[in-house]
Amino acid sequence: MVLLLLILCILVSYLFFKIWKLKDSKKDKDCYILDYQCQKPSDDRMVSTHFSGEIIHRNKKLGLEEYKFLLKAIVSSGIGEQTYAPRLVFEGREERPTLQDGILEMEEFYVDTIGKLLERQQISPQEVDILVVNVSMLTSMPSLPSRIINHYKMREDIKVFNLTGMGCSASLISVDIVKNIFKSYPNKLALVATSESLSPNWYSGNNRSMILANCLFRSGGAAILLTNKRSLRKKAMFKLKCLERTHHGAKEESYNCCIQSEDKQGRVGFYLGKNLPKAATRALVDNLKVIAPKILPVTELLRFMMRQNPSKGSTNLPPGTPIKAGINFKTGIEHFCIHTGGKAVIDGIQHSLDLTDYDIEPARMTLYRFGNTSASSLWYVLAYMEAKKRLKRGDRVFMISFGAGFKCNSCVWEVLRDLTTGESKGNVWNHCINDYPPKSISNPFTKMYGWLQDEDPDTFKIPETFKIPDEYM
């Protein structure tokens, strides 16, 4: 009898040990953000309203109608006067970009961000196990990851991933790659570098759907340190709760709505179609269907199901009409980190998720201050929340991004400690956060160039310089 009890105790103890070991091993598969750093380009790359007018005037392929179109686009873009452009634009060489222009633009990005990030965390480049780089519209040989490895003299056995062509949603794709690696390899440190090279892709033609990109995209980038090391867990800022990716590449309309291409004269640019809002809405809805059950309480999901009325469909809505999700995401989310794809994108998500102006303030202010920095824009929005001391322990941050393909990717981060003390000395907003939000984010383009609206197409002649009439000063 005693022997049987002893055997039973051993079996029960072994069972508890296996359960504990299984639960404990899952902790090594978690994905944490240790720190991140956004790029703040030098002030000599800042694009003022007056300089924007000079850039437009340099393009001799534009006429009055194109001027009026750009005036309307810039005024309604939500972008301010302190965004940044690549250096070749300030040198007047946007029509003659070289490969070296793009490489130098990227070097300026990663030397600034990665260097500051590693130094602040007192981490040697030799300690980095995984490197993921995403720059959509620049390929070189050696690759950009190889250039980073060479510059920082990283280890020979570092695992490298180089993503191109993924568009503005590439940041979360990079995080997804790291997350999946962490599932199989414990005790690792990963570095994600995300940016976009505008130098070789600045459009200098007169196709309206392609020149629109010049009004929205601006220079920027971010570096993110992620880990599943137990020894670093207490220092981590965020923990990844879930991540979902939606890809509508099989739909022709979605696939073709934003694409790098050439115009009829062979000039390379980035085409933004009129059906882009519709494609984004479709992708967002499908993505929310998957991620909502993972991030919202059961009570909210049940409430949503009970309120559904099959007889009330949206099949008769005009194309591109904003659709409300009909579900309260604030029951499971405290902060919304939205990709700054443009004012229309931010307004559309605000309407769809029934968010307040306070909820989307970080995205709007990021668009105003830094523009659309492509895949890195999410991290500027997150940095704004941190600089405003909004992030508290236990809060959940919902990231939503869109990208060419067409893709919608989203994820949820849990804040692991109060980030309300202004401890991040490297925050890109620290120097100006008290100035935001400003009383007005109106663009001065109308005041400076509104006289173009009064010009007659039959008599208009392109002036030698864009002199601003006194009455508009």
Domains of the chain in sequence order:
28-306+326-472 (3.40.47.10)
pLDDT, residue 452, reads 75
pLDDT above 90 (res 19)? no
Average pLDDT over residues 254-279: 88
pLDDT above 80 (res 182)? yes
Closest among 135, 160, 156 to 145, alpha carbons compared: 160
- pTM value is 0.89
422-to-38, 110, 225, 364, 418 alpha-carbon distances in Å:
16, 24, 19, 21, 10
Confidence of residue 311 (pLDDT cuts 50, 70, 90): very low
pLDDT, residue 283, reads 94
161-to-64, 114, 222, 250, 284 alpha-carbon distances in Å:
46, 16, 16, 25, 27
The model's pLDDT over 406-444, given as tens digits with 9 standing for 90+, comes to 999 999 999 999 987 555 678 999 989 999 999 888 777
Average pLDDT over residues 115-124: 95
Average pLDDT over residues 184-210: 92
What percent of the residues of the chain are helix, what percent strand, and what percent coil, each to the nearest 5? Answer: 45, 15, 35
Across the strands, what pairs with 399?
337, 411
To the nearest whole number, what is the mean pLDDT of the chain? 87
pLDDT above 70 (res 466)? no
pLDDT, residue 313, reads 46
Average pLDDT over residues 291-307: 87
pLDDT, residue 314, reads 45
The model's pLDDT over 64-99, given as tens digits with 9 standing for 90+, comes to 888 888 888 888 888 988 999 999 999 999 888 999
Kindly report the backbone phi and psi dihedral angles of residue 437, in degrees, each rounded to the nearest multiple of 5, phi listed first. Answer: -75, 145
Confidence of residue 310 (pLDDT cuts 50, 70, 90): low
Confidence of residue 117 (pLDDT cuts 50, 70, 90): very high
Average pLDDT over residues 166-175: 94
Looking up tokens 């303030």 gives 361
Asked if residue 171 lies in contact with residue 213, where contact means CB atoms within 8 angstroms, the answer is: no
SS3 439: coil
CA 268 to CA 149: how far, in whole Å? 30
Average pLDDT over residues 466-473: 51
